[in-house]
Chain A
């Protein structure tokens, strides 16, 4: 990582560790077309310390994947509008040129996707694609690159890695492809790994293997991980901190135990209550009424108010500010009081 890491100037409450690896301030993303404007991300703030795992938990359309893509500037430039500030390792991502972005992607920040079949190029072997990346970023020779690719496949526990190097993506099973995808992402030892629902398409017995693998590699390599999921169970397995996202905003953030045991925001409470668990047989589920918000036409004020059982007149007046309950705990709800100091 570059030595010029600067700490985020604002949000003193968040600055528990002095030099965050990632700091995002007031990130907004809009998708513009002729007729419509979709407000996908509406003011996201967070910091991520080196070696920390933050999980963004949200339903479809909450803006979690868009946030992830914005960090790498992967959104289509002509159809999307980004604003706010993104610092990764001291680098102002918003101000980078195309060449600088190419340099950043893959080397300092890497990403893994839900569907590895579409993320790999189907006409090149797995080995080829990993070698291409390390030759490009680390300037290795072809034979050294092949050695490195072999080490990487071994690291992600692919059996008989030498043979697998010459496999095409379609020759591998889903779990193995996801392992290869992780090997590719980690090929240049990134300090930040972005994971966009990497286990959603996998079977239960394979999902837990991939989660274990990610957790082990994250610890061994000391990388920070930003993990996006809709599955509370997966978030609990992998994360240090959880950020709950609704309609393009973080409605609540905090350490994983606090979020699961003492959710503060009504949406988090509803999400946890409506998640079906083992011992709930015969009991009625507490569903959140209504449907997720329409991003074409956001309601004024708190976007969760139309579905919230505690909603009052004040909720629809203005967007609730971030209330910091403790240095690590935030909720955006008028019912939540600030920390008694």
Chain B
């Protein structure tokens, strides 16, 4: 297992439910279990990719990390210091170390602020003298590939989508954070511009020794950038592991479905059979037991009864999957009978 000193961010049992109110008295009629008992670590210098379909809780997780949303329960530890806890790190201090880039590059910039004041705002709030903050802003603009003299006095509406996303990255970098949460940063960009921004992210990571959490629904982009991948489904982590293992030998039926739903890019090897039928279920009152059992081809009685915990069934220590088929003695007919290491038969699911 990883030594504690290597861990930058340790998230334990993160939970956030949103109440849905209705009726005459605005009583709570239902809950969206947006993020339900999510735990993971981010190691220093790595990129953790988070994938999943809409409504799986990946963006809520990002917002909880930043404390943009209040946690219902759970703990976040940044570099050994508990966040927002007695004797730990304050939220303000956390945000100096942890910054975020959002998908919509336009709505995340203040339309009335020039680029310079947008980037210099964060540092000046954190006590950097105004002149120094402005100098730093120009510096960072150069780092994200925009000519400072041309851009400092411009406004967001004067820029293209790719340029605006560079500004958002520059603003995130202005506080010299150690970890950046990238929430679908290239999804709204055209393919030709997407490649430019991805190259920039790779360069910045090496130059500034950054750690990334990269959230996307584009599996190709996640594979390109990430060292480890976390797969979410309806507010739960279903699989987490090294990028090669996840893409080559996905263990969870949902991960396998997600991967085989990717367009093949080869006209002679088109996808013949959709891997799943139907839409993802509503995150309001999700199914009991394993949340994927309603769409899973291998579902059995035990899947609806109890929720599978994350379980390490393969030789590498940091690949964990939450599926009854892999857990010995879970009651699923495909589960290994005894508590021995998994048999090679598991590998048959590999793509």
Query: Which residues of A are interface residues toward B (Cβ below 8 A)?
Result: 59-60, 159, 173-176, 203-209, 211-212, 230-234, 236-237, 256-257, 260, 270-271, 274-278, 280-281, 284-289, 291-292
Contact = CB atoms under 8 A, between A and B. Distances in A.
Contact of B261 (A208, A281, A285, A291): A208
B223 interface: yes
Question: What 4 pairs across the A-B complex have the smallest Cβ distances?
Answer: A233-B263, A274-B195, A287-B195, A288-B192
B44 interface: no
Contacts of A276: 194-195, 198, 218, 220-221, 224
Given A236-B264, A257-B267, A291-B162, A175 B278 contact: yes
A276 B216 CA distance: 13
A286 B191 CA distance: 11
Given A285-B199, A287-B199, A204 B191 contact: no
B258 A274 contact: no
Given A277-B265, A285-B199, A205 B275 contact: yes
B105 to A, nearest CB: 13
B285 interface: no
A233 B191 contact: no
A195 to B, nearest CB: 16
Contacts of B218: 276
- Looking at chain B's contact residues, the main secondary structure is loop
Contact of A275 (B191, B262, B267, B277): B191
Given A205-B258, A230-B190, A274-B191, A291 B163 contact: yes
Contacts of B257: 205
A175 B279 contact: yes
B109 to A, nearest CB: 17
B10 interface: no
Nearest to B268: A257
Contacts of B270: 236-237
Given A234-B263, A236-B265, A281 B224 contact: yes
A209 B263 contact: no
A333 B196 CA distance: 24
B274 A208 contact: yes
Given A212-B271, A276-B198, A278-B223, A205 B191 contact: no
Contacts of A60: 190
